[in-house]
Structures are given as C-alpha cells and as structure tokens.
C-alpha cells in the first residue's frame, strides 16, 4: 500500500516531469522505425537502429545502465540484485498508412491529446514505463530487484527481437509489457493457423481469391466463373455482390465487413458470403457446389463450431475462428483459418479434433502453426500487485482479463500485459481513426500521466514481494 506521503511525492514527480515525458516521446516519434529486413549492425533497418540509439541516450541521461543487444533490442536498468523484474516495450511501429490529418512523424499536441505514429503503440507507453523506473531511482527507493526496461525493435513483425533478448539476459523473475490495456491482461489465448482444402472439378470456377492477411476477417472475395451467365445467378443483392462480365468469365465479388481475428464479433466474412451463394447456383457442377457448401459450412459461426472445435473456459470464454485468406490451387479452394483458443485448452487436442472433423466432413483440414496460450492466474501475487496499483490509482474495481491478441508476454514464463490503454479514453480522431495501427494514432495526455502513476505504484508493490 502506497502511503499518502509517498503519493504526494509521486504526484509531484509526475507534474515536474510531464513536459520531459512528452519531449522524450516526441524525440522517438520523429524517427520513423518500421521494422524491416535490415543488414548486419541494423537487423531491423536504419530507422529502428536510430530510434534505439535515441531511446538509450534518454535512459543514459537519467543515469541508468544501458545495453545494446546488437540493435535487436536494448535495455536500461537500475539496481544490482540477482533477480530481475522487467518492463518490455517496443520501438518499432507499423507503417503509417493513409488518411493522416497530421504528419505521422511529427508529434502534434492538440486539445489534451498527442498524435503521431507510436504515441500509443508503443513508444509512448515505453517512455511511461521508463519514467516509473526513474521515480524509484530519483527517490533512492531501496530496490529488492534489478529493474530493467527492455526496448524491442521488432514486435510488430514476428518478435524476432525477443529471442535475442532471452539469449543475452537471464529470464526475468517477472515481466510486464505496457503494450495493451488496463486493468491487467493475465492471459493470451493460443493462436493457431490452419487451412481447409476443398476439391472440386473446375468445370466453371477458374479463379477464386479473397482477403489480404491471415489475421483479419476477409472483407472481399472474388470468383471468376466460365460458362455461366448473369441469368444463371438469379437475384443477387447489389449491395452485397458486384457482378461483371470479363474476357475470362463472370467476375463476382462479395463485399463483407472485416475485423481483427481476435475480435470477430460483428464481422461478415466475404469468403463465407461467396461460397454460400455459389453452393446454391444450380448451373455449377455438383462437385463445385459441394466444395463451396463445405467451405461455407466452416464459416457459419466464429466460435469453432464450423471447424468442429468449439470449446470455452472460465478465464478466456469461447474459442474464436475466422478465415482471412482464400485462394485456388489447381482444382482446390484453399481457406486459411486463424483460431484463438482458450488458455486451458491443449493445442494437440484441438489439432486432432480439427483434422478428424475435416476428414469426416469430406475435406482436408490441417493445422500449420500453433503458438501456445500464456496464462498467469489472477491469484498470483504479481498479478494482484499490478491490479491493486490500477485499482488504488483509479478507485475502480478492475479485474484481470484474457485477450485473443498476442503480446511479448507470451514469450516469457512469468509475464502479463499491463496497460496503458484505458477503456474510458475518448477518441477525438473519429470512426476508424485514432487507435493503434490506424491513421491519426493518438493518446490522452492526462490518462498517460495517470498510467505513469499506476506504473510507479506497480513497481513499488512488486518491490515488496518475495518472488
Ligand atoms: Zn505494440
């Protein structure tokens, strides 16, 4: 429990450092740092290299001990204890994309918000974690652990940075990543990649493709049919399907509604729309209609029923599945599936269920990738320490939650994701903007200062534990 007197010191520290916090975030925002395949000495490109140099210079200015893991990542630490507690954020960002109303690589301050690529994911949050450590250092708090801020350079592109950090540093006793939301994310579902292959005879279907990436519900799907006329289709709602004649044949595109694979509720899969529609076109061959019906059946829900793998558990709720990409190979429709499964479910069991269900239903189902879930019980002292930091500062009664997304935490034996996004943050940027990975990515300055306070409380709470 943080005393009133200590709380006043924390508030004063945050007030004094407010401008510096924003200045340091600005320094990092001004260095575009999308992770790419770089060269020796800059494994994730020059941008990430420059950004890490700038971040480590900020840490050195604060008098922390810094390390550079050959530009895969870097770190800054305080204390000299054997056991370590680490905070891991990342300096790489996703590409800026289109639709910005401000320069993505100049930090803009407007109406209590900051804008720029990385202000929320994850340069801003990394700096907030750094200032929590600075508080402990400036106030000579007796440290029972070494505290290390780790700055990764390739979170957004496969997390190739984590492997190097784990080779060079001992595994932290506990780690949290400020790369998600409050109150605390104590579990991440398993993430499985699978595919279904639906064979037909190619009598009319000459091409079939949908979606862009495996982890987004496909919002477009197109088929090219030879020897089929518009009349064969009957009435198709023009708001859901585009139909065009071309030299290759009749081109039909289904228009659905995308969403991230970890949160498919409310989405409409264009691959499902198109295969379901095609399965009812009597002018197609029987083999084609059957292949489409089987493919469509896998996507009639997004909670595993269509793949024969429905399951749920108490901490994580239901399994989810989506198809993000569809294509044609020879005379086979090939659908990819992105599956997020509950933390207590075993990947091998799910694999067996998926593959045998496919066989029983006349298609080939195969699991291609499996990243096991990660889970820390909400009853552990570490998770409780973080939760009480959040609850003490906000006056709320927040609970630990399990998400379908993946953060750095899943790569460590004892780790969770912790803030700094608040559910109550307003979005001044408008629909489809303002969030992480979006145009006009923004962050609320007042809430960021509150996050620093929560992080300081969290470190003070953790410091009291015998882990
Ligand atoms: Zn991130």
- Cα 125 to averaged position of ligand 1 atoms, centre (Å): 9
- Tell me, what DSSP letter sits at residue 313? E
- Cα 34 to averaged position of ligand 1 atoms, centre (Å): 12
- pLDDT category, 81, cuts 50, 70, 90? very high
- Cα 334 to averaged position of ligand 1 atoms, centre (Å): 31
* Per-residue model confidence as pLDDT tens digits over 220-232: 999 999 999 999 9
* Per-residue model confidence as pLDDT tens digits over 45-79: 999 999 999 999 999 999 999 999 999 999 999 99
- pLDDT at position 235, please? 87
- Cα 278 to averaged position of ligand 1 atoms, centre (Å): 39
Domain locations along the chain:
4-188+374-463, 190-369
- Cα 179 to averaged position of ligand 1 atoms, centre (Å): 5
- Cα 450 to averaged position of ligand 1 atoms, centre (Å): 19
- Cα 196 to averaged position of ligand 1 atoms, centre (Å): 30
- Cα 332 to averaged position of ligand 1 atoms, centre (Å): 37
Q: 124 near 151, Cβ under 8 Å?
A: no
User: Any idea which fold 190-369 has?
Assistant: Alpha-Beta Plaits (3.30.70)
- Cα 454 to averaged position of ligand 1 atoms, centre (Å): 19
Please, which residues have CB within 8 angstroms of residue 400's CB and are 6 or more apart in sequence? 183, 184, 185, 186, 187, 378, 383, 387, 416
Please, which residues have CB within 8 angstroms of residue 163's CB and are 6 or more apart in sequence? none
- Residue 203 CA, chain-centre distance (Å), reads 41
* Per-residue model confidence as pLDDT tens digits over 92-120: 999 998 899 999 999 999 999 999 999 99
- pLDDT at position 237, please? 87
Q: 296 near 275, Cβ under 8 Å?
A: yes
- pLDDT at position 236, please? 87
- Cα 7 to averaged position of ligand 1 atoms, centre (Å): 29
Parallel, antiparallel, or unpaired: how do β-strands 326-329 and 190-199 relate? unpaired
SS3 at position 59: helix
- Cα 82 to averaged position of ligand 1 atoms, centre (Å): 29
Query: Span 35-47, mean pLDDT?
Result: 96
- Cα 200 to averaged position of ligand 1 atoms, centre (Å): 42
- Cα 458 to averaged position of ligand 1 atoms, centre (Å): 20
Parallel, antiparallel, or unpaired: how do β-strands 180-181 and 420-421 relate? parallel
Burial of 435 (0-12, 13-18, 19+ CB in 10 A): middle
According to DSSP H, which parts of 89-143 are helical? 123-138
Query: Span 22-44, mean pLDDT?
Result: 97
CATH number among 3.40.50.2300, 3.50.50.60, 3.40.630.10, 3.90.79.10, domain 4-188+374-463: 3.40.630.10
* Per-residue model confidence as pLDDT tens digits over 363-376: 999 999 999 999 99
């Amino acid at each position: 429990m943080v005393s009133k007197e200590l709380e006043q010191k924390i508030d004063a520290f945050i007030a004094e450092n407010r401008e510096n916090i924003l200045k340091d975030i600005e320094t990092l925002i001004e260095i575009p740092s999308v992770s790419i395949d770089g060269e020796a000495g800059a494994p994730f490109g020059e941008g990430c290299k420059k950004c890490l140099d700038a971040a480590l210079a900020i840490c050195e200015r604060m008098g922390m001990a810094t390390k550079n893991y050959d530009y895969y990542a870097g770190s800054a630490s305080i204390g000299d204890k054997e056991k370590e507690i680490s905070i891991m954020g990342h300096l790489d960002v996703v590409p800026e994309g289109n639709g910005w109303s401000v320069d993505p690589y100049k930090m803009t301050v407007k109406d209590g918000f900051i804008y720029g690529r990385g202000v929320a994911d994850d340069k801003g949050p990394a700096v907030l974690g750094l200032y929590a450590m600075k508080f402990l250092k400036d106030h000579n708090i007796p440290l029972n652990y070494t505290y290390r801020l780790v700055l990764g350079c390739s979170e957004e592109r496969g997390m190739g940075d984590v492997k190097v950090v784990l080779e060079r540093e001992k595994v932290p006793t506990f780690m949290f990543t400020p790369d998600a939301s409050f109150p605390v994310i104590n579990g991440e579902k398993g993430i499985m990649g699978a595919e279904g292959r639906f064979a037909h005879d190619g009598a009319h279907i000459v091409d079939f493709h949908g979606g862009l990436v495996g982890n987004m519900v496909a919002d477009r799907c197109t088929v090219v049919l030879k020897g089929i006329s518009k009349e064969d289709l009957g009435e198709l709602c023009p708001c859901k399907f585009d139909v065009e004649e071309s030299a290759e044949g009749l081109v039909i595109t289904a228009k659905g509604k995308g969403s991230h694979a970890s949160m498919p509720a409310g989405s409409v899969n264009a691959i499902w729309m198109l295969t379901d529609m095609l399965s009812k076109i009597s002018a197609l061959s029987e083999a084609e209609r059957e292949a489409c019906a089987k493919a469509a059946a896998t996507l009639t829900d997004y909670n595993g029923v269509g793949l024969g793998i429905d399951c749920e558990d108490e901490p994580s709720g239901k399994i989810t599945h989506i198809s993000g990409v569809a294509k044609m190979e020879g005379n086979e429709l090939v659908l990819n599936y992105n599956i997020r499964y509950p933390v207590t479910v075993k990947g091998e069991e799910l694999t067996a269920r998926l593959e045998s269900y496919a066989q029983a239903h006349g298609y080939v189902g195969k699991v291609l990738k499996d990243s096991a879930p990660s889970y820390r019980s909400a009853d552990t002292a570490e998770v409780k320490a973080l939760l009480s930091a959040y609850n003490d500062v906000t006056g709320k009664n927040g609970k630990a939650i399990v998400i379908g997304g993946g953060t750095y935490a899943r790569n460590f034996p004892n780790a969770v994701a912790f803030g700094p996004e608040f559910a109550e943050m307003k979005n001044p940027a408008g629909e489809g903007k303002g969030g992480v990975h979006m145009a006009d990515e923004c962050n609320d300055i007042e809430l960021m200062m509150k996050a620093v306070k929560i992080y300081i409380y969290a470190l003070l709470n953790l410091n009291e534990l015998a882990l």
